[in-house]
Amino acid sequence: MIDQKLKVAIVGASGFTGSELARLLLNHSGVSIEMITSESHIGKPFSDLHPQFFTRLDIPLVSAEEVSKQKLDVIFLALPHGVSMDFVAKWKDSGAKIVDLSGDFRLSTKEVYEEWYNKKHSYPQGFDTAVYGLPELFAEKIKGANLVANPGCFPTASILSMAPLFAKQLVEDKSLIIDAKSGLTGAGIKASATTHFSNVNENFKAYGIAGHRHTIEIEEQLGALSGNQSTVQFTPHLLPVDRGILVTAYAKVTGEMSQEKLTEMYRDYYQDKPFVRLRNEAPGIKDVRGSHFCDVYPVWDARTERVIVISVIDNLLKGAASQAVHNMNLMFGLSEAEGLNQVPLKP
Ligand SMILES: NC(=O)C1=CN([C@@H]2O[C@H](COP(=O)(O)OP(=O)(O)OC[C@H]3O[C@@H](n4cnc5c(N)ncnc54)[C@H](OP(=O)(O)O)[C@@H]3O)[C@@H](O)[C@H]2O)C=CC1
Ligand SMILES: CC(=O)N[C@@H](CCC(=O)OP(=O)(O)O)C(=O)O
């Protein structure tokens, strides 16, 4: 019998999102993991780096150079910004479809990228063919894409919190404030002073104030949705937990609003989007931990005349790895939910 499974490579799998990709793809019926790369651990079994895979995924790690030598259907890039773009340039005509988890291909133009990512070397050709991989908004475009720019974790939770209102052009200009909190795995596997146990444990801190690169990503996507330029005040915070993002978004809206109208609007917008769950109480990060869900809770505060929306995701999953798998499912015409039906891990 001919093996119909998609041949997949995970590039940069010694990191957090790479290992989460491996966990999801191992349980995906339509995929065969052909290759996992790491430059700093060539030759070691994957399970030596991530012992949770012992006896389940022990294949040796290879250099990314090996990717060019094999016929693959999908390449997942779980690499830092500025590194991914060079691999995309190399492999974009290889016949494999690429899902890039970095920020390299998410923004609209070279100029915007260079402004917000402070890039030194020039941007490769081909970025204009990338599709922004947020399935709830762009499924049709993703289906035809060869290169998907997987969204950032904060932008995923932020955009989904506000999309129904922007789609109807109901948000007052410059009124949107997004206050977001992330678990530590959002910062990647490399140790730093910021993520040192003593700096994080029993602590809680804002960072990237008035300049975090996710601001422009959120602005561009919400702007595209409404057809108007949007300006967002975005402030991330570091939470002393492993994983999870909680967004609290505040906005002024134009026209009459009520709780019933708001709930109805969100229900309509997300009715055929199985991974966005409309909640009737404030969700916590553990309600989605280990899953592909984004839980959303919209509230109308008549006293302040503001909409407040709480949204939660697992930054490593809906914010990265499971979103990448969702994109692959769409790109290859597979069932959207294949490999993504995990029930959240709670407590
Ligand atoms: N963590 C999160 O919650 C999210 C992360 N992202 C994005 O996904 C990407 C991966 O993130 P994450 O897994 O957290 O990152 P990590 O820092 O945990 O891992 C990055 C991996 O990239 C590899 N790498 C680093 N430099 C190079 C290089 N010069 N050439 C080849 N490989 C290199 C490293 O592997 P090795 O040295 O073994 O080769 C490492 O395993 C990043 O762009 C990140 O911004 C997006 C959404 C959420
Ligand atoms: C907690 C933490 O440090 N988070 C990261 C965001 C990680 C992510 O989603 O985004 P990118 O792919 O855009 O890097 C940060 O604020 O830079």
- Say if residues 132 and 322 touch (Cβ distance below 8 Å): no
- Residues 26-59 have pLDDT tens digits of 999 999 999 999 999 999 999 999 999 999 999 9
73-99 tens-digit pLDDT: 999 999 999 899 999 999 989 999 999
- In the set 72, 88, 153, 308, the catalytic residue is 153
| CA–centroid distance, residue 155 to ligand 1 (Å) | 18
CA distances in angstroms from 124 to 10, 74, 87, 127, listed in the order given:
21, 20, 10, 7
Nearest-ligand number for the alpha carbon of 116 = 2
Which pLDDT belongs to residue 17? 98
Using a 6 Å cutoff on CB, does residue 183 contact ligand 2?
no
CB 256 within 8 A of CB 145: no
CA–CA separation, 267 and 137 (whole Å): 15
Nearest CA to ligand 1 atom 32: 12
Cβ of 149 closer than 6 Å to ligand 2, yes or no, is: no
**What is the value of ipTM here, to two decimals?**
0.96
- Residue-wise pLDDT for 101-113, tens only, equals 999 999 998 888 8
Which residue has a Cα nearest atom 14 of ligand 1?
188
pLDDT at 133 over 70: yes
Q: Closest ligand 2 atom, CA of 187?
A: 3
- What span, in angstroms and rounded, lies between the C-alpha atoms of 151 and 260? 31
Cβ count within 10 A of residue 303: 6
Q: What is the pTM of this model?
A: 0.97
Helix (H, G, I), strand (E, B) or coil at 169: coil
Mutate to test the pocket of ligand 2, among 17, 178, 214 (most ligand atoms within 8 A of CB): 214
pLDDT score of 1 = 46
Residue nearest to atom 17 of ligand 1 (CA): 188
Q: What are phi and psi of 262, to 5 degrees?
A: -65, -50
Q: Chain centroid to CA 136: how far?
A: 12
Model pLDDT for residues 218-263, shown as the tens digit of each residue = 999 999 999 999 999 999 999 999 999 999 999 999 999 999 999 9
Residue 55: how many other CB atoms lie within 10 Å: 6
**What does the alpha-carbon distance between residue 54 and residue 51 come to, in Å, rounded to a whole number?**
5
Residue 126 banded pLDDT, cuts 50, 70, 90: low
Q: Is 294 a catalytic residue?
A: no
236 lines ligand 2 (CB under 6 A): yes
Report the alpha-carbon distance of residue 188 to residue 191 in Å, rounded: 8
Phi/psi for 327 (5° steps) reads -60, -45
Atom of ligand 1 nearest to the CA of 189: 18
For residues 326 and 135, is the Cβ–Cβ distance under 8 A?
A: yes
Distance CA 39, CA 62 (A): 7
All domains of the chain in start order, with CATH: 6-150+320-331 (3.40.50.720), 154-313 (3.30.360.10)
Q: Of all atoms in ligand 2, which is nearest to the CA of residue 154?
A: 9
CB neighbours of residue 90 within 10 Å: 14
The reported pLDDT for the residue numbered 111 is 85
- Contact (CB, 8 A) for 33 and 1: no
Q: Is the CB of 325 under 6 A from ligand 2?
A: no
Within a 13 Å sphere around the CA of 236, how many CA atoms are in the beta-carbon half? 23
Q: Does the beta carbon of 238 lie inside 6 Å of ligand 2?
A: yes
Distance CA 67, CA 27 (A): 22
Tell me if 339 CB under 6 Å of ligand 2.
no
Cα 234 from Cα 179, distance rounded (Å): 6
- For ligand 2, whether the C-beta of 15 sits within 6 Å is no
CA 98, CA 145: separation in Å to the nearest integer? 9
Query: How many angstroms separate the Cα of 1 from the Cα of each of 4, 5?
Result: 9, 12
Q: Is the separation of the CB atoms in 168 and 154 below 8 Å? A: no
